[in-house]
C-alpha cells in the first residue's frame, strides 16, 4: 500500500515502491497488451507473489508479455514460455523442462526446486 507516500517524489521511494508505482501507472491506461520487464525486481517475495496473482487475473482479459530471469517463480503464472540466449527458443507450454533450458543455454542443467533443496531431474554426466 503506497497511500502514505502519495505526496512523495518518485525519486524518494525505495526501488520496490518505484516498481509498484510504474506497474500501477502502466495499468492505469487499461492497455490491451501489457509489456513488463522484470516486474518484481526490487520487490519482496510477498509483494512479488501479489503482483503475479494480479497479472494472472488480468491475463484473462489482456495479453501480457513478461521478461524475467526467475523462470521458477513465473512458471506457475504463465501460459507459454520463450527463452532467450542469443536466440529465441519458444515453447507453446508453461512447463519448464530440462531440454528447454539445455537448448537455450547450450549446456547440461539440473532443475532445483525452491524451498527444501532437492533434485527435480536425474543428475547428468558430462
Question: Mean of the pLDDT values across residues 117-126?
Answer: 55
Q: Crossing angle for the helix pair 45-58 and 15-28, nearest 10 degrees?
A: 10
Percentages (nearest 5) of helix, strand, coil residues in the chain: 35, 15, 50
CA distance 119 to 126: 17
pTM: predicted TM-score of the whole model, two decimal places: 0.71
pLDDT of residue 28: 94
Give the domains, in start order, of the chain with CATH numbers. 3-71 (3.40.50.300), 80-126 (no CATH)
pLDDT, tens digit, for every residue of 55-103?
989 999 999 998 888 776 676 777 888 888 888 888 788 777 888 888 8
pLDDT of residue 122: 58
pLDDT of residue 100: 81
pLDDT, tens digit, for every residue of 103-118?
888 888 877 665 555 5
Handedness of CA 53, 55, 58, 60 (dihedral sign): negative
Question: Mean of the pLDDT values across residues 20-29?
Answer: 92
Among residues 26, 23, 27, 25, the alpha carbon closest in space to that of 38 is found at 23
Amino acid at each position: 500500500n503506497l497511500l502514505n507516500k502519495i505526496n512523495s517524489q518518485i525519486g524518494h521511494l525505495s526501488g520496490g515502491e518505484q516498481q509498484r508505482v510504474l506497474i500501477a501507472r502502466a495499468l492505469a491506461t487499461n492497455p490491451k497488451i501489457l509489456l513488463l520487464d522484470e516486474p518484481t525486481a526490487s520487490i519482496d517475495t510477498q509483494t512479488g507473489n501479489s503482483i503475479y496473482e494480479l497479472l494472472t487475473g488480468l491475463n484473462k482479459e489482456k495479453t501480457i508479455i513478461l521478461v524475467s530471469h526467475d523462470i521458477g517463480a513465473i512458471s506457475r503464472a504463465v501460459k507459454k514460455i520463450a527463452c532467450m540466449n542469443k536466440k529465441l527458443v519458444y515453447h507453446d507450454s508453461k512447463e519448464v523442462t530440462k531440454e528447454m533450458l539445455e537448448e537455450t543455454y547450450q549446456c547440461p542443467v539440473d532443475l532445483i526446486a525452491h524451498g527444501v533443496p532437492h533434485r527435480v531431474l536425474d543428475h547428468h554426466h558430462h
